């Protein structure tokens, strides 16, 4: 690949093509955000920056159809879900604009013999490395709060997202963020290391693969840079009881198929108590079987194509290996048609099967039968990942007890699709470090400056 390129995963048509930035352009971009750090970041107020971010939210909502069409074309997101992503991004910007001054207010510290306070100051220019699966939402949860803080942003988007990268840069500037405070950069993978190493860059946030996260963390560590990582998950969906199994199954299907199953925190492993397992498996498999990939530009499409031919080939290989190693196909995916990947349901996956420890990034679900709450928790935690999780039971005390024992950054009880701008997002173990969104998210890249005063 020689640059950023849109290849519509449904039609196969090539769209926008942008060459990678030259090394000179990379240096110019770093100089821009460094200039913003010494000017805009020092002279603008939180209220002024929050007003600009509120305008960003307003523009997203005013241009929702246009923005949704861009990401449907870039990565195949069904139109209704693309509209939802634009609206969620707008909600994130609005949340931080509305709450910025309270979130960034000085905190008094009780101290003997004097006074002290904690001042929340900007850290400096940041590099953001974004993924393709949520082109607007991912930028919103990183750039929105950090621009309000006063951290200039250098943004490297995914190679298949040049149109959404450019339109977001244009929106920030239209809203009043200076051109040097938010800079889009079409950098190559090879250019990332010298950017992180540059003394003018103070931190880096990446959402992506374990491999990419490990590489970025290693570089950042060598150069003593703050890093936040969100690296995927293999989220358990634990069913220990249900007053309405049909509703539980409906939630399970939605949790697996949203965004084509290409969500880091999608429900992927369905862990069901023995006395509900057979009925759940039958209903879940029947519901999944009713869904097929279709034209993502249609308003009623539930499942679009996978994001690329490479993604479809990778998932196809995972399913084949799982079956070769003893898994049972309750619903075998129909032969894929390019990027059009039909849903599947696998069961009887033992610990020797490669599928037991893999993340299936697409519309393939894994079912596990368990005989106790303890066994459900043990299976849920038997993964290197620890991003999100789901617990379904009518017994709230049981749900909270299980939530305490799950090794994950997030637990959703009897609900899916309940993420919100106010709720911190992030994980543990191989799923990464740090948090975004909510009051916690705005604090990820802060200089928490202690100021001591006399009595």
Q: Is the pTM of this model over 0.85?
A: yes
Compute φ and ψ for 248, nearest 5 degrees: -65, -45
Classify residue 417 as exposed, middle or buried by CB count within 10 Å of its CB (0-12, 13-18, 19+): exposed
> Which residue, among 81, 412, 11, 428, has the nearest Cα to 261 in the 3D structure?
81
Same-domain status, 409 and 437: no
Compute φ and ψ for 157, nearest 5 degrees: -90, 175
Residue 320 confidence (pLDDT): 96
The rounded distance, in Å, linking the Cα atoms of 23 and 20 is 9
In a domain, 52, yes or no: yes
The rounded distance, in Å, linking the Cα atoms of 91 and 60 is 10
Residue 2 confidence (pLDDT): 85
Same-domain status, 388 and 373: yes
Secondary structure in 3-state letters for 216-245: HHHHHHHCCCEEEEECCCCEEEEECCCCCH
Between CA 376 and CA 356, with CA 433 as vertex, the angle to 5 degrees is 35
Same-domain status, 214 and 266: no
Sheet holding 226-230: strands in order across?
182-184, 153-156, 126-129, 203-207, 226-230, 432-433
Same-domain status, 148 and 252: no
Which tokens go with 54? 């509120």
Contact 438, 430 (CB under 8 A): no
Look at the block and give the residue holding tokens 């950042």.
220
Same-domain status, 407 and 291: yes
Same-domain status, 189 and 277: no
The rounded distance, in Å, linking the Cα atoms of 60 and 74 is 18
Compute φ and ψ for 410, nearest 5 degrees: -145, 140
Which tokens go with 31? 């100089």
Which tokens go with 68? 């949704």
> Which residue, among 403, 401, 378, 372, has the nearest Cα to 390 in the 3D structure?
403
In a domain, 177, yes or no: yes
Which tokens go with 166? 């450019």
Same-domain status, 25 and 162: yes
- DSSP helix/strand/coil, 184: strand
Same-domain status, 350 and 397: yes
Contact 255, 266 (CB under 8 A): yes
The rounded distance, in Å, linking the Cα atoms of 76 and 442 is 30
In a domain, 115, yes or no: yes
φ/ψ region of 256 (left if φ > 0, alpha if ψ in -120 to 50, else beta) reads: alpha
The length of the chain in residues reads 455
> Which residue, among 291, 293, 271, has the nearest Cα to 281 in the 3D structure?
271
Same-domain status, 220 and 267: no
Pair type for strands 3-7 and 14-19:
antiparallel
How many structural domains compose the chain? 2
In a domain, 198, yes or no: yes
Residue 42 confidence (pLDDT): 96
Same-domain status, 142 and 259: no
In a domain, 425, yes or no: no
Known catalytic residues? 230, 264
Which residues are within 8 A (CB) of 410 and not within 5 positions of it... i.e. 6 or more apart?
265, 387, 388, 389, 423, 424, 425, 426, 427
- DSSP helix/strand/coil, 200: coil
Q: CATH no. for residue 61?
A: 3.40.605.10
Contact 288, 253 (CB under 8 A): yes
The rounded distance, in Å, linking the Cα atoms of 32 and 179 is 8
Q: CATH no. for residue 274?
A: 3.40.309.10
Residue 1 confidence (pLDDT): 60
Contact 209, 179 (CB under 8 A): no
Which tokens go with 103? 């979130």
Same-domain status, 161 and 210: yes
In a domain, 367, yes or no: yes
Written as tens digits, the pLDDT of the chain (455 aa) is: 689 999 999 999 999 999 999 999 999 999 999 999 999 999 999 999 999 999 999 999 999 999 999 999 999 999 999 999 999 999 999 999 999 999 999 999 999 989 999 999 999 999 999 999 999 999 999 999 999 999 999 999 999 999 999 999 999 999 999 999 999 999 999 999 999 999 999 999 999 999 999 999 999 999 999 999 999 899 999 999 999 999 999 999 999 999 999 999 999 999 999 999 999 999 999 999 999 999 999 999 999 999 999 999 999 999 999 999 999 999 998 999 999 999 999 999 999 999 999 999 999 999 999 999 999 999 999 999 999 999 999 999 999 999 999 999 999 999 999 999 999 999 999 999 999 999 999 999 999 999 999 98
Same-domain status, 194 and 156: yes
In a domain, 153, yes or no: yes
* Domain range enclosing 291: 235-420
């Amino acid at each position: 690949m020689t640059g950023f390129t849109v290849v519509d995963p449904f039609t196969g048509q090539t769209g926008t093509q942008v060459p990678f930035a030259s090394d000179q352009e990379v240096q110019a971009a770093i100089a821009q955000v460094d200039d913003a750090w010494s000017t805009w970041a020092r002279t603008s107020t939180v209220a002024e920056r929050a007003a600009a971010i509120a305008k960003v939210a307003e523009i997203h909502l005013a241009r929702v159809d246009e923005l949704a069409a861009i990401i449907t074309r870039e990565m195949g997101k069904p139109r209704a879900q693309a509209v939802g992503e634009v609206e969620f991004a707008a909600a994130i910007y609005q949340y931080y604009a509305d709450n910025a001054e309270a979130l960034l207010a000085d905190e008094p510290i009780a101290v003997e013999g004097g006074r002290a306070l904690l001042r929340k100051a900007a850290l400096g220019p940041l590099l953001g490395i974004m993924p393709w699966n949520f082109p607007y939402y991912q930028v919103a949860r990183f750039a929105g709060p950090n621009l309000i803080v006063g951290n200039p942003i250098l943004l490297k988007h995914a190679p298949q997202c040049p149109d959404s990268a450019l339109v977001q840069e244009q929106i920030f500037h239209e809203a009043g963020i200076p051109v040097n405070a938010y800079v889009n950069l079409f950098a190559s993978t090879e250019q990332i290391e010298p950017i992180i190493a540059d003394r003018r860059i103070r931190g880096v946030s990446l959402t992506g693969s374990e491999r990419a996260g490990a590489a970025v963390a290693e570089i950042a560590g060598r150069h003593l840079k703050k890093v936040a990582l969100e690296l995927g998950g293999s989220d358990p969906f634990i069913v220990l009881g249900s007053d309405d199994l049909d509703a539980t199954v409906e939630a399970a299907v939605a949790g697996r198929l949203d965004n084509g199953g290409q969500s880091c925190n999608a429900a992927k492993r369905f862990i069901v108590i023995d006395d509900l397992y057979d009925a759940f498996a039958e209903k879940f498999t029947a519901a999944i079987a009713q869904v097929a990939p279709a034209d993502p530009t249609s308003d009623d499409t539930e499942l679009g194509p996978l994001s690329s031919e490479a993604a479809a080939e990778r998932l196809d290989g995972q399913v084949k290996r799982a079956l070769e190693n003893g898994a049972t196909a309750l619903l075998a995916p129909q032969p894929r048609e390019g990027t059009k990947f039909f849903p599947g349901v696998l069961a009887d996956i033992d610990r020797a099967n490669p599928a037991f420890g893999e993340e299936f990034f697409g519309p393939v679900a894994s079912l596990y039968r368990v005989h106790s709450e303890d066994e459900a928790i043990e299976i849920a935690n038997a993964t290197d990942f620890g991003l999100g999780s789901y617990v379904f039971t009518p017994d709230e005390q049981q749900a909270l007890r299980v939530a305490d024992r799950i090794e994950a950054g997030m637990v959703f009880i009897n609900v899916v699709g309940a993420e919100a701008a106010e709720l911190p997002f992030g994980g543990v173990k191989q799923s990464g470090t740090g948090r975004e969104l909510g009051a916690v998210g705005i604090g990820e890249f802060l200089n928490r400056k202690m100021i001591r005063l006399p009595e």
